[in-house]
Amino acid sequence: MQIVIGIVVLIVILTLLAAKMEAISHQRKMQILKTIALVFALLWLYETYVDRGDARTRALYVAFKQGKTLVCDGQKVTPEHFYFETGTESFVSTDQKGPLSGLVYPASKCEIADE
């Protein structure tokens, strides 16, 4: 996000300098600044959305590591039968055979079980 802020600030400064030198009109300057503000607002909203999802996944991971039971699509997920795969942010079954074999649940579909 810091890179985006830096780029936005640089574009704003260049726009203001160009307008001061009368290389671009006042109306064009306003269009550029409005577009930059809109893009910045959309990027900020996206970043906020991603941060919330990351915080939720982190909370699930911490609860799972503390031995708490999670419920994913109606299935109880415990550290005894599952492990957390950080690359895909999902819970993967450790059972080689049996009813839990091959099960994978994305963290986005899980909740901490009420115990």
Mean pLDDT by 10 residues, the chain (115 residues): 75 74 75 84 86 89 92 90 90 85 89 81
For the whole model, what pTM was predicted? 0.62
The string of pLDDT tens digits covering residues 62-79 is 999 999 999 998 889 999
The domain ranges of the chain are 1-66, 68-115
Question: In 3D, which of 109, 78, 111, 74 has the Cα closest to residue 94?
Answer: 78
Can you give the pLDDT at residue 21?
67
Give the span between the Cα atoms of 56 and 28, in whole angstroms: 43
Helix, strand or coil, per DSSP, at residue 93? strand
Give the span between the Cα atoms of 100 and 79, in whole angstroms: 13
The string of pLDDT tens digits covering residues 76-86 is 999 998 999 98
Can you give the pLDDT at residue 86?
87
**Measured between alpha carbons, how far is residue 104 from residues 12, 57, 87 in Å?**
47, 15, 13
Can you give the pLDDT at residue 19?
66
Neighbouring-strand partners of residue 111: 71
Can you give the pLDDT at residue 115?
61
Work out whether the CA dihedral 90, 105, 64, 58 comes out positive or negative: positive
Can you give the pLDDT at residue 14?
78
Can you give the pLDDT at residue 61?
92
